[in-house]
Chain A
Amino acid sequence: MYEKDTITALATPLGKGGIGVVRVSGPLVELVAKEMVGELPKSRVAAYRNFLDAQGTVIDQGLVLYFKAPNSFTGEDVLELQGHGGPVVMNLVVARVLELGARLAKPGEFSERAFLNDKMDLSQAEAIADLIDSASSQAAKSALRSLQGEFSKKVNSIIKGLIELRVYVEASIDFPEEEIDFLDNPKIGEDLDTLVEKIDQLIEQAGQGALLREGVSIVLAGRPNAGKSSLMNCLTGQDTSIVTEIAGTTRDVVNELIHLEGVPVRLIDTAGLRKGNNPVEIEGVRRAEKEIALADYVLVVVDLNAHRLDLTAHIDELLATLPKVENYIVALNKADLWQPEHVSEKQVLVSAKTGKGVDDLRALIAEGIGLRVSSEGTFIARARHLDALQRGIQSLVRGQALFGNNTAGELLAEELRSCQQALGEITGEFTSDDLLGTIFASFCIGK
């Protein structure tokens, strides 16, 4: 037989609101079943159950199916959890399975195991090879997408911090006769704490769990009369905001909660941005700017009709004022009156008046805030990355307990190594030779 660890993954591509299947294969299946649905169901008999998290809270409900080895797809014990909570919820299910000791399957790994365990005949070898090949290049692309922007910057700064720490700790072990006592530096302890904090924050921010609990906030911003309030009403399906043809209608901040793919999204309508001289409007603009600074995302609303001639310049001007460079979507409104030839990424044609394009706008928002999933999509890639961060921080927290105890230098080093191994799954391997190279570049070492 082949590797003995337990793997899990979302087995079906997740569409909007559809059914998602989380598959688990390997020796931990029984444990996963007992922990998450209370018992190991009878083999091949579907049962309707609650899926529980570590605290016993219900994550989702759905069908659970158990296939006893060797009579399963992979030839190992297999558990399938079918839920309908949408991608975020299904991902919480996966996260719970991981917590119980499984690891995320490599692309194509279920099929690979099936093949290696004689569950497929030899003629399928080529097909499996193709599958692994295409699934892993797809996964690589998704991983790249997950790694864009802020997330990547933060991950890289964490890795950099970790390497710096390791350089000190390993140098103190392999070069004890140098004149620098690497571990005597109190900065090391502080750096370790900072690193833990940074990873913690990143997990919190990037975590889909946080998304589910707290939702995201999206501010509608743009020039007066662009149609912000009209779009707000379209998205909420209510007459939340006052709409008139007078530029400068909205003065105060208007709030409404909607649900996108099961995730709470707070929409915030604001005053149109311009330099007015009416004190009420000036105050409205000030509040709008404050909301823009605080929001997770900005939905930039543009009046196509008013900017037929200078559309690109107008959009650039608006984007330049945004605080978070990455987190925006542009709604090209009043598309019923005029349409540009070219619509770029992160832009969508919409008409608040006719309702045309509003579904596209919803989809773009969902994708933009990371709720949309294509087979091995950004979402899963992000889950992989979070899993790695999670394992990394566990090692560091153990390392914190060891720091200051000089006789445990090699144990601290071991925790840092495990952490690097975990984070290496995100950014690529960092070998012991790379580490030695960094040590030699940083210190004058050697006799």
Chain B
Amino acid sequence: MSEKHFDVIIVGGGHAGTEAALASARMGCRTLLLSQNIETLGQMSCNPAIGGIGKSHLVKEIDALGGAMALAADQAGIHFRTLNARKGPAVRATRAQSDRALYKAAIRSVLENQQNLYIIQQSVEDLVVTGDRVEGVVTQMGLHFYASAVVLTVGTFLGGVIHVGMEKQQGGRAGDAPSNRLASRLRELPFNVGRLKTGTPPRIDGKTVDYSELQAQPGDEPRPVMSYLSTGEEHPQQVSCFITHTSEKTHDIIRAGLDRSPLYTGEIDGVGPRYCPSIEDKVVRFADRSSHQIFIEPEGLKTHEIYPNGISTSLPYDVQLALVRSIKGFENAHITRPGYAIEYDFFEPRDLQSSLQTRHLAGLYFAGQINGTTGYEEAAAQGLLAGINAARQVQELTPWCPDRSEAYIGVLVDDLITLGTKEPYRMFTSRAEYRLVLRQDNADRRLTEQGHSMGLVDDRRWRLFSEKLSGIETLSEKLSKHWVQPGDDRVEAFTGKQLSREYNLLELLKRPEVEIKALLAALDMDNNNVAESEQVEIDVKYAGYIVRQQQEIDRVKSQQDLSIPSDLDYVAVAGLSNEVSQKLCAVRPETIGQAARISGVTPAAVSLLLIYLKRHKASAALKSA
């Protein structure tokens, strides 16, 4: 093979790009990863944390499919917490504060050791397009590389503009050049381009922070892990976070600075995320709040820099400094890097197929921030999916698109391609209607087998997973055969009253007050595999709900499986209103199920589509006969 020809090319070495490159290479494709700068592979542009509600669900799915993010987070995590620990398992989540440098190093090492993967430091400036197909890319040095599938994951770099107060400058993120050539080239192609905005807080020298009055927040014990393969032994030294608050004085300073805020003077037109508002937004929109919470997060073990989570801002530097110093503990703080807002191009995600291939150019896939999302986890999940489907295209296989009932990855992609987005899209558990089924604890049970059959999962993971499955089976079998009698006080200590009849242990577990761990301990039964007994317990406790959700899933599934030809002429469908056929034209749903989820598409419209498709198919069959 020549140095110019590859199976799959990935452009961009952020969170989307690295997972895409790794997936494609794991599946056996000769893969080229092109990124502006090898030193920034796997760089976290913003806060030094992986996971969180909804996000760790994505990370664990990536892990279940053999991806790198969870393992890297375990190697770099310096503070772990389980969120929603007091709530049920479906909404529990894991977050790892990460040492930026360790994280980057972990990702870099996986990339360098991946077979079939080639990395070249080059900035891509053009695509090689023939007809309506992409065949390769051209870099800033004029190098040409060819492949039958190209995955674009260039993050916030397209036409990136950085704002600090009324000053603005071009940049892909602080310290990196934007990708303007590529951006203008993409604007010439038939894509719908929009602008979004996001922001980051100033960083502070931790040596200038007075922690004495601040509330410390240690990590959780026992310490959670992100990857199923991790034990916790790979975690580096652990440190605490701290909490402080803004004051009325802070808010006065911000109000006085609004006349030089690019957000409030109309300099920025890109739409920012509602759930990640800048501090100036919070002060203006919730004027009655006298204080806002700030989490002080360490940037790493070998640096003093800290990340004050909660004061993202694009106010001018002098206002930033004053507002920081009005906060308890920060009275003498020194800002090492000013906060800023960044505006960038993104592409209308409704122009994508569920494989993440673009509808306009065959062989071209988009993943990550350029599809209108925000967040490392959202980017990595899409990267993984795009990498898988680019590889499958090369292998002449049909795309793999998990649906909403299988994975948060499916929810993410379906939301994007069906509903589009008006603001940077972040995952929340409330976006998943099958939340009770899509848990972080069962990501492997949902996905690892599929990952294995696609060639994404290595032997070690497969062996551990298979052992876990059979462990779960053995344990539930054992519990269903273990009977306890009325009068057995080891058991009645839990139930609080005498058993009415003979029970097996699986039945007993259905009761909310009976916990598997305590039950096994009381009966002197061995219980050393927590992951397995946890699955047995959840299966039993959620059983009723899971059955109900499964019924709903099955009902929707019959529609989900009915596909719609991509070139369907909606105008010809009898009875469809103009409005509905326009909406369908814009999204071009792949299945009846997706069509039904487009807002404004009524059940009657779905019926009309079904009838049209049926007639169409029959007359096509007639013609070919």
Question: A403-447 interface mask toward B, CB cutoff 8 Å, 1 = contact, 0 = none?
Answer: 001111111011001000000000001011101110010001111
Other-chain contact of A106, B275, B277, B574, B607 (Cβ < 8 Å): B607
Other-chain contact of A436, B84, B295, B310, B430 (Cβ < 8 Å): B430
Chain A residues with Cβ below 8 Å from B431 are 432-433, 436
Chain A residues with Cβ below 8 Å from B274 are 436-437, 440, 446
Q: Are B611 and A129 interface neighbours, CB within 8 A?
A: yes
Q: Are A444 and B285 interface neighbours, CB within 8 A?
A: yes
A106-B607, A411-B88, A433-B419 given as contacts; is B293 within 8 A of A179 (CB)?
yes
Other-chain contact of A411, B545, B610, B619 (Cβ < 8 Å): B545
Other-chain contact of A406, B86, B282, B612 (Cβ < 8 Å): B86
A128 interfacial contact with B, CB 8 Å = yes
B183 interfacial contact with A, CB 8 Å = no
Q: Are A173 and B430 interface neighbours, CB within 8 A?
A: yes
Binds A, one of B131-139, B315-323, B596-604: B596-604
Residue of B nearest to A425 (CB): B603
Interface residues of A in 163-189 (CB under 8 A from B): 170, 172-179
Size of the chain A interface, CB-CB below 8 angstroms: 51
A3 interfacial contact with B, CB 8 Å = yes
A46 interfacial contact with B, CB 8 Å = no
Chain A residues with Cβ below 8 Å from B54 are 174
Q: Are A445 and B275 interface neighbours, CB within 8 A?
A: yes
Residue of A nearest to B311 (CB): A447
The smallest C-beta distance from B280 to any residue of chain A, in angstroms, reads 13
Chain A residues with Cβ below 8 Å from B88 are 407-411
A116 interfacial contact with B, CB 8 Å = yes
A125-B615, A130-B574, A446-B274 given as contacts; is B84 within 8 A of A176 (CB)?
yes
Interface residues of B in 557-577 (CB under 8 A from A): 558-559, 574-575
A112-B610, A405-B512, A406-B86 given as contacts; is B289 within 8 A of A444 (CB)?
yes
B608 interfacial contact with A, CB 8 Å = yes
Q: Are A414 and B612 interface neighbours, CB within 8 A?
A: no
Q: Are B602 and A136 interface neighbours, CB within 8 A?
A: yes
Q: Are A132 and B429 interface neighbours, CB within 8 A?
A: no
Other-chain contact of A177, B47, B83, B428 (Cβ < 8 Å): B83
* Interchain CA distance A32-B610 in the complex, whole Å: 28
Other-chain contact of A132, B84, B90, B575 (Cβ < 8 Å): B575
A129-B612, A409-B87, A409-B91 given as contacts; is B435 within 8 A of A414 (CB)?
yes
Q: Are A447 and B87 interface neighbours, CB within 8 A?
A: no
Q: Are B310 and A447 interface neighbours, CB within 8 A?
A: yes
Other-chain contact of B91, A128, A133, A173 (Cβ < 8 Å): A173
Q: Are B575 and A410 interface neighbours, CB within 8 A?
A: no
Chain B residues with Cβ below 8 Å from A107 are 604
Chain B residues with Cβ below 8 Å from A172 are 87
Q: Are A406 and B87 interface neighbours, CB within 8 A?
A: yes
Most buried by B among A5, A405, A407, A435: A407
Q: Are A429 and B430 interface neighbours, CB within 8 A?
A: no
Size of the chain B interface, CB-CB below 8 angstroms: 53
Chain B residues with Cβ below 8 Å from A445 are 275
A132-B604, A432-B430, A436-B430 given as contacts; is B611 within 8 A of A410 (CB)?
no
Most buried by B among A116, A178, A411: A411
Q: Are B86 and A407 interface neighbours, CB within 8 A?
A: yes
A129-B608, A407-B87, A408-B88 given as contacts; is B430 within 8 A of A2 (CB)?
no
B614 interfacial contact with A, CB 8 Å = yes
* Interchain CA distance A178-B292 in the complex, whole Å: 10
A291 interfacial contact with B, CB 8 Å = no
Residue of A nearest to B439 (CB): A410
* Interchain CA distance A440-B555 in the complex, whole Å: 32
The smallest C-beta distance from A410 to any residue of chain B, in angstroms, reads 5
The smallest C-beta distance from A162 to any residue of chain B, in angstroms, reads 15
A109 interfacial contact with B, CB 8 Å = yes
Chain A residues with Cβ below 8 Å from B47 are 447
- Chain A interface helix/strand/loop/mixed: helix
A4 interfacial contact with B, CB 8 Å = yes
B585 interfacial contact with A, CB 8 Å = no
B53 interfacial contact with A, CB 8 Å = yes
Interface residues of A in 1-21 (CB under 8 A from B): 2-5
* Interchain CA distance A2-B614 in the complex, whole Å: 11
The smallest C-beta distance from A150 to any residue of chain B, in angstroms, reads 27
Chain A residues with Cβ below 8 Å from B574 are 125-126, 129-130, 133
* Interchain CA distance A264-B331 in the complex, whole Å: 79
B209 interfacial contact with A, CB 8 Å = no
Chain B residues with Cβ below 8 Å from A429 are 599
B433 interfacial contact with A, CB 8 Å = yes
Q: Are B430 and A447 interface neighbours, CB within 8 A?
A: no
Q: Are A115 and B86 interface neighbours, CB within 8 A?
A: no
* Interchain CA distance A136-B577 in the complex, whole Å: 12
Residue of A nearest to B425 (CB): A433
B1 interfacial contact with A, CB 8 Å = no
Most buried by A among B88, B607, B614: B607
Q: Are A444 and B282 interface neighbours, CB within 8 A?
A: yes
The smallest C-beta distance from A437 to any residue of chain B, in angstroms, reads 7
* Interchain CA distance A275-B4 in the complex, whole Å: 102
The smallest C-beta distance from A237 to any residue of chain B, in angstroms, reads 46
Q: Are A112 and B607 interface neighbours, CB within 8 A?
A: yes
A112-B611, A414-B436 given as contacts; is B604 within 8 A of A122 (CB)?
no
B530 interfacial contact with A, CB 8 Å = no
* Interchain CA distance A436-B612 in the complex, whole Å: 36
Chain B residues with Cβ below 8 Å from A262 are none
The smallest C-beta distance from A399 to any residue of chain B, in angstroms, reads 12
Q: Are A431 and B275 interface neighbours, CB within 8 A?
A: no
B618 interfacial contact with A, CB 8 Å = yes
Q: Are B83 and A129 interface neighbours, CB within 8 A?
A: no
Chain A residues with Cβ below 8 Å from B292 are 444
A41 interfacial contact with B, CB 8 Å = no
B276 interfacial contact with A, CB 8 Å = yes
* Interchain CA distance A126-B616 in the complex, whole Å: 12
Known: A2-B558, A176-B53. 13 other contacts (CB 8 A): A3-B558, A108-B604, A112-B610, A126-B574, A129-B608, A173-B430, A175-B53, A179-B293, A409-B87, A435-B430, A444-B282, A446-B274, A447-B309
Subset of 7 A-B contacts with CB under 8 Å = A2-B610, A116-B610, A177-B295, A406-B86, A433-B431, A444-B277, A447-B309
